[in-house]
Structure 1
Amino acid sequence: MGRKQDLEVVGLDKAKQRQLTENSKGRLKELTNQVIVITGASSGIGLTTARMAAAKGAKVVAAARNEEALKQLVKELESKGHTATYVKADVGREEDVYKIAEVATQEFGRFDTWVNNAGVSIYGHAMDVSISDMKRMFDTNFWSVVYGSKVAVKHFKDRGVPGSLINVGSLFGGRGTVIQSTYAAAKFAVHGWTESIRMELEKEQAPVSVTLIHPGRIDTPYNEHARSYLTKQPSHGGMVYPPKEVAEAILFAAENPKRDMYIGGQAKAFELLGTLFPRLIDRIIEGYMYPTQHDNRPSKPAEESALHHAGYGMHERGTNVGWIRSGSMYVSAQKYPIISTIAAVGLGAIAVGMVRRKKK
């Protein structure tokens, strides 16, 4: 009798597996037919993505700690004829992430894309940053991604309909840096988590598209929200990209299964060169990254950061001082595999050239 029950269970599992396999071959919905959950939606990349998703016809579920900003966002979107709702949530708390999913299913019956975007940084030398600040940042930047991933994957599996899980990583998620060591460590964890669950879900043929977003330096209030241990105000120097390019990459991945999306050629080059020539890039970072991560004005006090409480909202852009680009050709190239391959070959040629010059 026990063996018969075991066989019946195996049979049910196989039937469900076949169903998941067939459904995983289906296409992702067009944005006009999607319900999209976006964390960290009150400012920066999340705010830009929410606005762009709504403009493309998606129903938006915006989540963040700043309830007043979320109310303003929903009111703005509804005034334009779009459909949106919000959830006040601290994504560093597992129960709050469950609440986001509950609101989405109560309001719209489902969600089709889940974007783990919420994040905050700490600027300071590794040995100066307190353990309590480190733990809080990991709650927001890493554990929130774990919570959101688990909720989203379960939802897509239960429905048996293909959905998108999109995790926002970083330029520093595959290569360490100075001054933002805690942030880099958390993003390393996000990258490792995302790559690992992608393989597991692919192996079991689950109906989930898993994408890792690799933003370069982006012009958002990231620098203003960061907890600073510096005497000067954190700021992006060098080449900086607009948040709309990250939003464009996120929404492309919501409709098209993509393993990775890089925002700016700098993000891809940083990863590639850091892998091929680690000691050379160590030296470059040591010389370049110290002066290009702050502005020449006093740093904001710690209590004004968004590490332990909500920061100000409804601002897409920050107060960065670098070369603010109007867009990223590399994002456009990744939508077309042939162009993307040509770009990768070009970066490889640059890398070889750097090595030859170094040897000379």
Structure 2
Amino acid sequence: MLKKLSDQVIVITGASSGIGLVTARMAASQGAKVVAAARNEAALKELVNELKGKGHSAIYVKADVGREEDVNRIAETAIKEFGGFDTWVNNAGVSIYGHAMEVSNQDIQRMFETNFWGVVYGTKAAVNHFKNRTIPGALINVGSLFGDRGTVIQSTYAAAKFAVHGWTESIRMELEREKVPVSVTLIHPGRIDTPYNEHARSYLDQQPAHRGMIYPPEAVAEAILYAAENPKRDMYIGSQAKALQLLGALVPRLTDKLMEVIMYPTQHADRPSNPPEASALYHAGYGMHERGTNVGWIRSGSMYVKAAKHPILTSVAAAGAIAWWASARRRR
């Protein structure tokens, strides 16, 4: 049994913008004590002052999750200030837009330090803490729809997220066999309206951006905080994330062709790309922005997340719909 969120201390990496920022604000509003971590110290200070000004408990740790010593310091600070933590969210990440053969090995290695090694370091820090205290806790790793299915243009990012998915599934089985008191959840976001694209390293002539159906960061935060209280294996944000995973598994060659057609025109806006030095690959990006500059239909939420939070009601509704359909067919 996991604690109620109002009784929890929650660690969130990448908390200075986007999904991490929204999750920190939402967690605090529901009574959790927040440990916010990121590279942008000015943004973290502003966030913590904002939360404290509303009567919430929060601290920050300036940290680069690609450095193991920084990640360990996040855990040590949470233990020192709050006596421990109950949920650890590995959310920090950065992308690269460009063809795999054109992206430099140095850039790929740096991205893996953040996107993969940051998850590894965070996992070990969290699991060691949960082992030592023997009270159940939650480990939540933020993956991607591109961790379930490869893509073009963000091919190197997809590779890093595939690694995160494989790590999460494998560590879950090992911890279960060892009977370690930890719930391990993998979050599968679809396209989310955050500054993710503005922070990305771009090899494109045009600015990276999402086009098409886009989900709000609040939907991801909702899924993360649900998993903090309720053991869940996977949480998909948006039907597009689940549909792509299923399509890729059932008809991989058709999915290849669809991705080749759809993904090239839907990953950039009609304006010049930001220069390489503006990206957050090697240094902190701008903070305190929840949303990005994407182009498309931005949904108000995710019905798929709502359904995952109420599986029994969803199953009953689905069974009712099937029964109605069958009855209608018989009448015809």
Please give the range of the TM-score, normalised by the shorter of the 2 chains: over 0.9
Any idea what SS the aligned residue of 2:186 has? Answer: strand
- For 1:331 and 1:97, how far apart are their aligned partners in 2? 29
Structure 2 residue aligned with 1:205: 179
Structure 1 residue aligned with 2:328: none
Residue type of the alignment partner of 2:86? D
In the TM superposition, residue 204 of structure 1 has moved relative to its aligned partner by: 1.4
- For 2:288 and 2:202, how far apart are their aligned partners in 1? 22
Equivalent residues in 2 for 1:1-360 (5 A)? Answer: 27-338=1-312
1:290-312 C-alpha deviation (Å, 9 max, x unpaired): 00000000000000000000000
1:171-220 C-alpha deviation (Å, 9 max, x unpaired): 10011000001100000000000000001111111100000000000000
Give aligned pairs, total: 319
Q: 1:131 to 1:341 in 2, by over 3 A?
A: farther
Pick the structure with greater CA Rg.
1
- For 1:322 and 1:173, how far apart are their aligned partners in 2? 22
Any idea what SS the aligned residue of 1:303 has? Answer: helix
- For 2:293 and 2:156, how far apart are their aligned partners in 1? 22
In the TM superposition, residue 341 of structure 1 has moved relative to its aligned partner by: 5.3
% same residue: 78
In the TM superposition, residue 338 of structure 1 has moved relative to its aligned partner by: 3.4
Residue type of the alignment partner of 2:138? S
- For 1:102 and 1:203, how far apart are their aligned partners in 2? 27
- For 2:259 and 2:25, how far apart are their aligned partners in 1? 35
In the TM superposition, residue 52 of structure 1 has moved relative to its aligned partner by: 0.1
Residue type of the alignment partner of 1:163? G
Residue type of the alignment partner of 1:149? T
Any idea what SS the aligned residue of 2:141 has? Answer: strand
Residue type of the alignment partner of 1:205? K
Any idea what SS the aligned residue of 1:282 has? Answer: helix
**RMSD between aligned residues:** 1.2
- For 2:87 and 2:181, how far apart are their aligned partners in 1? 12
In the TM superposition, residue 337 of structure 1 has moved relative to its aligned partner by: 1.8
Any idea what SS the aligned residue of 2:265 has? Answer: coil
Q: 1:92 to 1:340 in 2, by over 3 A?
A: farther
TM-score by length of 1: 0.87
- For 1:73 and 1:41, how far apart are their aligned partners in 2? 9
In the TM superposition, residue 336 of structure 1 has moved relative to its aligned partner by: 1.7
Question: Unmatched 5+ residue regions in structure 2?
Answer: 320-332
Structure 1 residue aligned with 2:323: none
- For 1:105 and 1:161, how far apart are their aligned partners in 2? 14
- For 2:214 and 2:302, how far apart are their aligned partners in 1? 10
Residue type of the alignment partner of 2:114? T
Any idea what SS the aligned residue of 2:295 has? Answer: coil
- For 1:173 and 1:344, how far apart are their aligned partners in 2? 28
In the TM superposition, residue 344 of structure 1 has moved relative to its aligned partner by: 9.4
Q: Which runs of 4+ in 1 moved over 3 A?
A: 338-345
- For 1:337 and 1:50, how far apart are their aligned partners in 2? 26
- For 2:238 and 2:125, how far apart are their aligned partners in 1? 30
